[in-house]
Amino acid sequence: MTKIQKIGLFGFGCVGQGLYDVLANSRGIKASIEKICVKDRNKKRKLPASYFTFEKDEVLNNPEIDLIVELIDNADEAFEIVATALKQGKNVVTANKKMVAQHLEELVELQHEHQVSLLYEASCCGSIPIIRTLEEYYDNELLYAVSGIFNGSSNYILSKIFNENLDYDLALKQAQDLGFAETDPTLDVGGFDPKYKLIIIAAHAFGLFLNPDTIFNVGIQNLSKYDIQYAREKDYKIKLVPHVSKVDEATVTLFVMPQFISRTHPLYNVDNEYNGVIVEAAFSEKQFFSGKGAGGYPTGSAVLSDISALTYGYKYEYKKHLQHIEVNSTNNIEVEVYLRYSNKELLKKLQFESISEKFIAQNFKYVIGYVRLDHLLQHIQEIREFDAFLVSTGNFQASAATPASVRETATEEFELI
């Protein structure tokens, strides 16, 4: 066991305060917070002023501080802090999923170059130890897929809508009042937060370092009463589900979108701020993990777990990446989706491969069919900005080059809608 860890903390918001409380009430851990760097000079805080500084170098350049814990919102500033700390030979714990996802390959190189450790369990799925589980339990397992509910904020909103009949705006306000969602909730409800988490999980599950811009993500902000009505008529709930799955032995696909969830699905009763992760593998088969995914204490407990691991010299080994098994990502698949729309020009652009169901009413139009994921990614801005809502049925398949005549026939059907 190493010496007592002296912590330099960046950020004292919901998670930072949660960490302080969790650490103060934990037994046996050999760590203490020495200094906390914050921005707002006027904000009242529950700790004495002597704990705080407004100068990052006072923390980063302090030779007595062994460990940097980064818990701020700004991903660019977080990367500067984390990279500087690693270069100075300090271990780092972070909860910033956007920063890790955008810079993961570079951060891995910095760890190896400077012989230090960067841990980020708190960046994915709150209190569920999914990264450590993938690194250790599934290190040599043949994985097929990882999916689930990775964002407690959006899940809280959807739970209030489907379980308590709240409208979207009121459910969002409740999530914001409880600290589950930010004043600008775009990262959560737009599906960006779970996309960053999915990229991190894909690195530990399949050894891939991916650019977030190559991954399709849409969220729940365009959810309407018609979509809710449709789901209820079919006895579904809607959940925001990120998904990484093998298409064949050498290829995986990744996407984030709302999904219809039936009563028999493991995610059906994962409600409020809880997360749920499903791991499918060849030998251990399907396993399900659940825990709180939002809030200061659940996330603080994940940070504390990383701090504790560092007292024992723990490092991620990136085992799947170092196995040098050739695995690539692809958007060349067909996904079955429900699309509620108002502008049929969007349908033409998406070029559905096939259509199994369509409906038209004065204020409500939808189609269900297979569409290529690369077409969805190509027109992602139109999907977000048009009056449209996209939901996966949970079915997808490797893309077979559908003859143009078949696609034209499918498109012609829309001329009547």
pLDDT in tens, 296-305: 888 889 999 9
Question: First and final CA of the chain: distance in angstroms?
Answer: 68
pLDDT in tens, 78-128: 999 999 999 999 999 999 999 999 999 999 999 999 999 999 999 999 889
Percentage above 90 pLDDT, the chain: 75
H or E stretch including 338?
strand 333-341
Instruction: Give the residue among 397, 407, 244, 402 at the shortest CA–CA distance from 335.
Output: 397
pLDDT in tens, 134-180: 999 998 888 999 999 999 999 999 999 999 999 999 999 999 998 88
Domains and CATH numbers, the chain: 5-123 (3.40.50.720), 130-250+260-291+322-329 (3.30.360.10), 333-414 (3.30.70.240)
Paired strand residues for 337: 369, 392
How many secondary structure helices (H) and strands (E) does the chain include?
16, 17
Q: Three-state DSSP class for 274?
A: strand
Instruction: Give the residue among 267, 276, 290, 252 at the shortest CA–CA distance from 142.
Output: 252
Q: Three-state DSSP class for 143?
A: strand
pLDDT in tens, 222-279: 999 999 999 999 999 999 999 999 998 889 999 999 999 999 999 999 999 999 999 9
What is the Cα–Cα distance from 169 to 148, expressed in whole angstroms? 24
Residues with catalytic annotation? 197
Record the pTM: 0.93
Return the HEC string of 2-54: CCCEEEEEECCCHHHHHHHHHHHCCCCCCEEEEEEECCCCCCCCCCCHHHEEC
Contact 301, 95 (CB under 8 A): no
Paired strand residues for 314: none
DSSP 8-state secondary structure symbol assigned to residue 215: S
Q: Three-state DSSP class for 147?
A: strand
What is the Cα–Cα distance from 194 to 149, expressed in whole angstroms? 8
Contact 217, 190 (CB under 8 A): yes
* Inter-helix orientation angle 152-164/168-177, to 10°: 130
Beta strands 328-329; 251-261: pairing state: parallel
